[in-house]
Structure 1
Amino acid sequence: MRRRPQAIKDPATEARLFRRRAVLLLALMLLAGCGLLARLTVLQVVQHDRYATASRNNSIRTEAIAPARGVITDRAGRLLAENVSSYSLYVTPENVPDLPSTLAELGRLLDLREVDLERFNRLRHSRPRFEALPLRRNLDDVETARFAAHRHRFTGVELRGELSRHYPFGALTGHVVGYVGRLNETELADASAEQRAADSIGKTGVEKTYDTRLQGRVGYQQVEVDAHGRRLRVLERLRAEPGAALRLNLDLDLQRAATQALAGQAGALVALEPTSGHVLAMVSEPAFDPNLFVGGISADDYRSLLEDPQRPLTDRAVRGQYPPGSTLKPFVAMAGLRSGTVAPHDHTWCPGWYTLGKSPRRYRCWQRHGHGRVDLLEAVAQSCDVYFYDLAFRLGIDRIHKELEPFGFGRRTGIDLPGELPGILPSRDWKRRARGAPWYPGETLIAGIGQGYNTATALQLAYATAQLASRGSTPPPRLVAAPVALAFEDRVSGPVADAGQWQTVIDSMRAVVAPGGTAHRAFADAPYVTAGKTGTAQVFSLAQNSEDRGRDAPKHLQDHALFIAFAPVEAPRIAVAVIVENGGSGSATAAPAARQVLDAWFRQQEAP
């Protein structure tokens, strides 16, 4: 067997090879060390601030501080909207290990409402996971203590002390002051930082109109939190600036007197100061308690308000549009005087009905047997329909429209409240645009007594009455006192007439409350001189030859009762408009309500 030859070792070659490999390995190690050193230099020196901030953010959280909302007071400084301390429950989704289970446990502990959970879930899907979200606001003392005792069980859930809105007088000022409520999805998209921080926005009334001024300016704070997201300490704080306080022209005592005057009947009452346009009282009945909405109203409570046939959520003072009825007659009389169509002592014969030419249709007067021979003063005092049928026919609808518009009919007054409706002051053009139909002569007659297409709000009637009282110089009505009040926009010039024309119409309204006038009984012993006008507006049409005035109709079909007035006549300090839905008679229902308000105002003015 042949043997394989053995290799001869070469120590020198092996040593050279080893040294070469050792040098290469050392070079690689040095290169890796330099790379590591360079990276450490970048991390520790070049990018130090970035990573230091990121590190701090693992334990430091920036939170918005909601500003204190500005308070709202009446003219005497009595609080109508204030802020009270309360506790709310906040959840940070990112810090909650099992959110569905946590919410279920909280629900058992605190009896969470469906509206709370729906609201939280909407916010959770629209906000960052690291942001603390309100789950339940305005916890009572028992709920606060119960959660505090079990707080250790709920990672990522905390109690926060904050201010919540409160309305001390509830329904008494509910429509005027309005309320704040939680942001809905639409509002959230356009919400300011202040609104997001407070998670609320003015929804109605003064709270909505002046929301930006009431909000204040949001603040911020940096807080250190533990691994569970609980706050340990505040590191830095930029204080929030509170919102502006608002003082209303409203008088709380007169507001209460006006509410009592309506005596639980559906309707509206507005009182203005003629010289300034200040709103002294504004009542809509029935009303609602705005405190129900502050923390989020329950579904049952909201459904109850919506389904109430009396519609308590509707502000009848600015959104209730009613036929003005005979309260429109002084303004039609002024149109007749200004146009030269009628003179103060021109007479019209009232047999109890009026016809157009040879038409067999009779337009009836409320006084079935007629008023006989009447002039302008007697026609207003006794509310003679025939006189105003004839005057309206001679004026024509377009002239009536032109003359009544400066008093504020058919357009918004510009009051600093949201949602005001303009009513309707008809004309040929209006009917063509709105109904696509021509105007008929008979419609002019009906318009002359405030029926037909005519509609007005209680605010419009009060403003028009104030214009009569001030002889055309009343500025647009304002709830909030200067200098915070919003500026007037597109102010329309008031009515213009000569001194004799003003005096004639005012004298005719004085005759309404004098012996022989339709409101004499309500003002028989008044210690001040009043000018007024009763009104009754039909809710449904009567048959052509009907002698019935609808007195036996069901309550919801009875006539609306209206009354306008101002006093004292020589130096007016207050103008009032009253509308009582289905009240029957202006003289029997609305006039006494106005008397109560005027009495209350003058007693208050005389008090030391």
Structure 2
Amino acid sequence: MYDKRIKIFIILSACLLLLCLLRLTQMQLLPDSSIQDDIAKLKRQRSMSRQLGTVRGKILDRKGKVLAGDEPQFQLHINYRLSCFMDERIRRAKLLKAARRDDAAIASAEVEKELQTGLEDLQQIIDKCTYFGLERADIENRIKTINNRIWNLRTFLAWRRNGPNPDILEKYNNRINSIPLSVAIADFEKKFPDEDRRLLLVREVDDIAEMDKTWPLLELKTDDDIFTAQLEFMNVDGIRILPKAHRVYPYGDTAAQTIGWVGPATQETDRQLFAGDKLSSYLEDEVCGREDGVEYVCETILRGRRGEVIYDIDRKVVNRTETQFGKDVSLTLDIEFQQRIENYLADCTHNRNCEAAVAVVVIDVATGDILALVSMPAFDLNRVRYDYAALAADPNEPLRNRAINKLYPPGSVVKPLILIAGLETGKITPDEIIPCPAQKAPNGWPSCWIYNKYHSGHDDKWEYDGGNNARNAIKGSCNIYFSRLADRIDPSVLQQWLFKFGYGQISSLVARRSSLVARDLRQSPGTISSGNPEGIIVPPERRYFGIGQGNLRVTPLQVANAMAAIARGGFLKQTRLFKEMHNSEVIALDISPQTLDVVRDGMSSVVNEPGGTAYKEFAPEIGR
């Protein structure tokens, strides 16, 4: 009877075990199992991710020469587990913890030995870091900065994990990461007035990623530095040599304002640009384009997007997002051509105004491409992050792009436009003479420059060459002729002609059809009225507009494009700075061929004929 009961018990136990095995097999192996889904969900919840860096796109000139690009720069990094040996707060917290153990004396001695050994190792590392040109105090300050940063984070988390004041949370709408550190620390100190208690609570925060990552300590600027660092720190725990992308500008200060520069992405507008996109948003040590320049305008094109690999709890890849590298941006500039212009302007041996603030714009007449956009003084793009304060305070405004964002009285370059307006409205004919006698102009009228300088007039100069007619007035840049002519033209009509040539308006240099670019280079529209940009020309001021004075203001780019319109036969074309732009639209200004012939003939004589105001400057080059 007893044996029979034993057999029944064994059979029942075996059946129950078989049922358990069958259920376990179903849970683990069958794909349709709901338990399998739960396991997969749990793995996803415990997943880990690793982000993959991107590379910022290059900026190129029209011939493919690199104007801005990333190069690897090696840095010496230190781990916080090593740098913290210089933090007195860490030392005190560890000793306090040891003192509370049952074997307090032994534990404290061990901690003292650990701290002393760690500090001695760190001091040796600091000594070796001085080999790379830094003062010991500078290195120690950098280590203190790292320690303070992580200690503040640990303090904030200690406060967060130990019952923050509900009133503070409510004040900041329970967005705990929006609470300032100073507010958190004040509440932490109020709740835990004993400093030792606070130190122990902060010490317990030992599970954050920042404590295990490495932090840049110094830059290794040369190959010799890299080689030396490899030898000195080859087997040192907590020290690593890591590459970092470094933005390089091969042409230094050439086209600096147009190219722009990058700096730390710390401003609110930087965070807003890619808000909601965790793979595009800026990490702590990343850079972005600083206003103004192509680096800033094309940030969304150049930036790229980090990749990401997500692992489950078993370290298996469950999702992968590929890295999108930044795209290159090609400009219409000819950087070596622009460099020659800038070098010429800065050479005091032949340019007596070499130290003056100037701007130069060169446009390809046929295409509207901007070949050169010079603004001087300039600055070295490779040093601007270090020199910014001095540059911003410089009264010569080297950071401003004078070619597009600085207003000037156009002076005599407006005279061809005034002549076109006068001829097309019938206010003058090509052969009509406006006298320019050798005498001072009446009150309220500008005198001619030739009288101010030589006490003579254009009547004498052109007495045997057709008189002071349209062609000769351009050739001699006669103030009397153009002030009198402008005074004949209705103010609104004069404004219309200036506007048709691009004065008083901004012509976008960025393709607005591109959904990627929401920014533009900073430009000034200029002024073509007596006061505010949208006002009228007061009739008496027309005479000063006629010689490019008064309240008339333009940018060098506007002047260059107006001259290009005359050169291409009275057709205005949008200027192009980015090769990707298609500026096929051409606006006919409805200027008669006869008017264009007169104006062009006069402009040609300025540089090609004796008596022209620029003949002496260009004569040595003619015929070469």
Residue deviations 1:60-118, cap 9 Å, x none? 4x233232222222222222112211235779989997896799988957466799979
Match among 429, 447, 452 for residue 364 of structure 1: 447
Give secondary structure in 1 for the equivalent of 2:614. coil
**Correspondence for 1:326:** 412
**Are the counterparts in 1 of residues 61 and 330 from structure 2 also a CA contact under 8 Å?**
yes
Q: What letter is aligned with 1:395?
A: I
**Correspondence for 1:281:** 372
**Correspondence for 1:388:** 482
Give secondary structure in 2 for the equivalent of 1:521. helix
Deviation of 1:401 after TM superposition, in Å, equals 0.8
**Correspondence for 2:4:** none
Residue deviations 1:449-496, cap 9 Å, x none? 100111111111111111111123342111221xx33x669x793522
Distance change >3 Å, CA 214–CA 45, structure 1 → 2: closer
**Correspondence for 2:542:** 444
**Correspondence for 1:523:** 618
Q: Distance in 1 between matches of 2:449 and 2:67?
A: 44
Residue deviations 1:189-219, cap 9 Å, x none? 2142335157222223222222222223321
Q: What letter is aligned with 1:324?
A: P
**Correspondence for 1:186:** 268
Distance change >3 Å, CA 456–CA 260, structure 1 → 2: same
Q: What letter is aligned with 1:399?
A: V
Distance change >3 Å, CA 113–CA 307, structure 1 → 2: farther
Q: Distance in 2 between matches of 1:161 and 1:234?
A: 26
Q: Distance in 2 between matches of 1:344 and 1:117?
A: 76
**Correspondence for 2:203:** none
Match among 562, 565, 574 for residue 464 of structure 1: 562
Give secondary structure in 2 for the equivalent of 1:387. helix
Q: What letter is aligned with 1:419?
A: R
Q: What letter is aligned with 2:325?
A: P
C-alpha RMSD of the superposition: 4.5
Deviation of 1:286 after TM superposition, in Å, equals 0.9
**Correspondence for 1:408:** 502
Q: Distance in 1 between matches of 2:258 and 2:565?
A: 22
Give secondary structure in 1 for the equivalent of 2:615. coil
Residue deviations 1:431-455, cap 9 Å, x none? 4967xxx854331111111001111
Map 1:104-183; keep pairs closer than 5 Å: 110=139, 130=209, 139-140=220-221, 142=225, 149=233, 154=238, 160-183=242-265
Q: Distance in 1 between matches of 2:40 and 2:262?
A: 43
Q: What letter is aligned with 1:479?
A: L
**Correspondence for 1:425:** 528
**Are the counterparts in 2 of residues 391 and 448 from structure 1 also a CA contact under 8 Å?**
yes
**Correspondence for 2:289:** 202
Higher helix proportion: 2
Deviation of 1:343 after TM superposition, in Å, equals 0.8
**Correspondence for 1:31:** none
**Are the counterparts in 1 of residues 501 and 572 from structure 2 also a CA contact under 8 Å?**
no
Residue deviations 1:386-409, cap 9 Å, x none? 111110110133221111111111
Distance change >3 Å, CA 130–CA 118, structure 1 → 2: closer
Number of residue-to-residue matches in the alignment: 463
**Are the counterparts in 2 of residues 94 and 129 from structure 1 also a CA contact under 8 Å?**
no
Give secondary structure in 2 for the equivalent of 1:170. coil
Deviation of 1:284 after TM superposition, in Å, equals 0.9
Give secondary structure in 1 for the equivalent of 2:74. strand
Q: Distance in 2 between matches of 1:494 and 1:65?
A: 52
Residue deviations 1:530-556, cap 9 Å, x none? xxxxxxxxxxxxxxxxxxxxxxxxxxx
Q: Distance in 2 between matches of 1:410 and 1:423?
A: 5
Deviation of 1:45 after TM superposition, in Å, equals 6.5
Map 1:545-556; keep pairs closer than 5 Å: none
Match among 304, 308, 318 for residue 216 of structure 1: 304
Map 1:198-277; keep pairs closer than 5 Å: 199-203=286-290, 204-221=292-309, 238-263=321-346, 264-265=354-355, 266-277=357-368
Map 1:328-347; keep pairs closer than 5 Å: 328-347=414-433
Match among 75, 93, 97 for residue 62 of structure 2: 75
**Are the counterparts in 2 of residues 80 and 173 from structure 1 also a CA contact under 8 Å?**
no
**Correspondence for 1:4:** none
Match among 49, 58, 81 for residue 40 of structure 2: 49
Deviation of 1:415 after TM superposition, in Å, equals 2.1
Q: Distance in 2 between matches of 1:276 and 1:172?
A: 23
Q: Distance in 2 between matches of 1:113 and 1:521?
A: 60
Deviation of 1:145 after TM superposition, in Å, equals 6.1
Deviation of 1:384 after TM superposition, in Å, equals 0.8
Deviation of 1:43 after TM superposition, in Å, equals 13
Distance change >3 Å, CA 361–CA 302, structure 1 → 2: closer
Give secondary structure in 2 for the equivalent of 1:288. coil
Q: What letter is aligned with 1:272?
A: I
Give secondary structure in 2 for the equivalent of 1:322. coil
Residue deviations 1:122-168, cap 9 Å, x none? x97979964769756855354896598299665xx865423221111
Q: Distance in 1 between matches of 2:403 and 2:74?
A: 36
Q: Distance in 2 between matches of 1:82 and 1:68?
A: 9
Q: Distance in 2 between matches of 1:66 and 1:196?
A: 11
Deviation of 1:261 after TM superposition, in Å, equals 2.5
Distance change >3 Å, CA 210–CA 45, structure 1 → 2: closer
Identity over aligned residues, as a percent?
27
Q: Which runs of 5+ in 1 are unaligned?
A: 1-33, 226-231, 529-598, 600-608
Q: Distance in 1 between matches of 2:82 and 2:253?
A: 41
Deviation of 1:280 after TM superposition, in Å, equals 1.0
**Correspondence for 1:592:** none
Give secondary structure in 2 for the equivalent of 1:240. coil
Q: Distance in 2 between matches of 1:114 and 1:322?
A: 51
Match among 316, 340, 353 for residue 402 of structure 2: 316
**Are the counterparts in 1 of residues 419 and 599 from structure 2 also a CA contact under 8 Å?**
yes
Q: Distance in 1 between matches of 2:45 and 2:82?
A: 18
**Are the counterparts in 2 of residues 174 and 287 from structure 1 also a CA contact under 8 Å?**
yes
Distance change >3 Å, CA 352–CA 88, structure 1 → 2: farther
**Are the counterparts in 1 of residues 44 and 312 from structure 2 also a CA contact under 8 Å?**
no
TM-score by length of 1: 0.65
Deviation of 1:380 after TM superposition, in Å, equals 1.0
Higher strand proportion: 1
Distance change >3 Å, CA 502–CA 433, structure 1 → 2: closer
**Are the counterparts in 1 of residues 506 and 524 from structure 2 also a CA contact under 8 Å?**
yes
Give secondary structure in 1 for the equivalent of 2:618. coil
Distance change >3 Å, CA 114–CA 492, structure 1 → 2: farther
Give secondary structure in 2 for the equivalent of 1:349. coil
Give secondary structure in 2 for the equivalent of 1:161. strand
Give secondary structure in 1 for the equivalent of 2:617. coil
Q: Distance in 1 between matches of 2:496 and 2:142?
A: 55
**Correspondence for 1:552:** none
**Correspondence for 1:605:** none
Q: What letter is aligned with 2:364?
A: E
Q: Distance in 2 between matches of 1:401 and 1:440?
A: 11
Q: What letter is aligned with 1:347?
A: I
TM-score by length of 2: 0.64
Deviation of 1:292 after TM superposition, in Å, equals 2.2
**Are the counterparts in 2 of residues 72 and 82 from structure 1 also a CA contact under 8 Å?**
yes
Query: Does residue 476 of the first structure (1) align with residue 574 of the second (2)?
Result: yes
Deviation of 1:352 after TM superposition, in Å, equals 4.8
Match among 502, 505, 510 for residue 596 of structure 2: 502
Q: Distance in 1 between matches of 2:218 and 2:320?
A: 24
**Are the counterparts in 2 of residues 414 and 488 from structure 1 also a CA contact under 8 Å?**
no
Q: Distance in 2 between matches of 1:418 and 1:238?
A: 33
Deviation of 1:414 after TM superposition, in Å, equals 2.0
